[in-house]
Amino acid sequence: MSFGTNIRTWFEGSWHEGDIAVMRAADHGIWQGSSVFDGARLFDGLVPDLDAHLARVNRSAEALMITPSMDTATMLEIAREGLKRYASGAAVYVRPMYWAIHGSDLGVAPMEGVTGFALCLEEVAMPAAGASTTLTTTQFRRPVLADNVCNAKAGCLYPNNARMLVEAKRKGFGNALVQDAMGNVAESATANVFMVRDGVVFTPIANGTFLSGITRARHIANLRADGMDVQETVLTVADFRAADEVFLSGNFAKVTPVSAFDDVRYRAGPVTQRARELYWDWAAASRL
């Protein structure tokens, strides 16, 4: 099932219209889960950090022991060519993907040097400015690097995220605030998380249990350049219950205000709004 509409896919040297088949039944990526992807965005004619997302998919592949087959410059050229086929003002999700084709060592390990690649473009609207979500706790936790590839944007990690999200939805909330193995807050089920208390911005320190996002780093840099105190530190669920503002940070929406965490309500705060304004101002330099 596709994520968006008006899909175009670059595969095996050319662009194809629609949600085409790119994997075969015996590909290692299907039955052993050896796939990675990344996500960038075209919106308002802007493509912020497109090169950074394309570079990260290669790092993710290497972390999952898949051999990257495309350099960042080539992927950037392909993506820009494909995006120009969309109407002015279109919002598009950009997804480069790798997967292993063959296995070695009884089929379990991916074979080096034989890798599938596709770049998929899907028209997906940006959430409306100010559109918020709610959070609750979840019984499921983020893994550690010793037992999973937390340093990759890997498909095999997402069933765990899906369990978190489904649990939250069943409880009547939009997303889950997720703890790491030590019980400290890591992120949400779908994005990095920030909180504000007494004018200071806090975000969980990157400790290897979650992917420290490209958009997260932009917010930290933008807010600090704007004169705000931003601290990466150990945070607990209790810290979030005592926060003045909470917002999520990710490629899909860039900034998502959180209006509630269980029975705690948050106001639509000025720091969250400022983070969004700063991001859009910074992104204005990245027109297609």
Question: How far apart (Å, rounded) are the C-alpha atoms in residues 55 and 128?
Answer: 29
Domains in the chain: boundaries = 5-123, 133-283
| CATH fold of the domain at 5-123 | D-amino Acid Aminotransferase; Chain A, domain 1 (3.30.470)
The DSSP bridge pattern shows strands 175-179 and 133-137 to be parallel
158 burial class (0-12, 13-18, 19+ CB within 10 angstroms)?
middle
The CA–CA distances, whole Å, from 193 to 33, 62, 220, 255 equal: 27, 26, 11, 10
Secondary-structure breakdown of the chain: helix, strand, coil percentages, each rounded to the nearest 5: 25, 30, 45
Number of Cα atoms under 13 Å in the Cβ half of residue 11: 19
Global pTM reads 0.95
Please provide the CATH number assigned to the domain covering 133-283.
3.20.10.10
Per-residue pLDDT of the chain (288 residues; tens, 9 = 90+): 467 899 999 999 999 999 999 999 999 999 999 999 999 999 999 999 999 999 999 999 999 999 999 999 999 999 999 999 999 999 999 999 999 999 988 889 999 999 999 999 999 999 998 899 999 999 999 999 999 999 999 999 999 999 999 999 999 999 999 999 999 999 999 999 999 999 999 999 999 999 999 999 999 999 999 999 999 999 999 999 999 999 999 999 999 999 999 999 998 899 999 999 999 999 998 777
DSSP secondary-structure letter at 156?
Answer: G
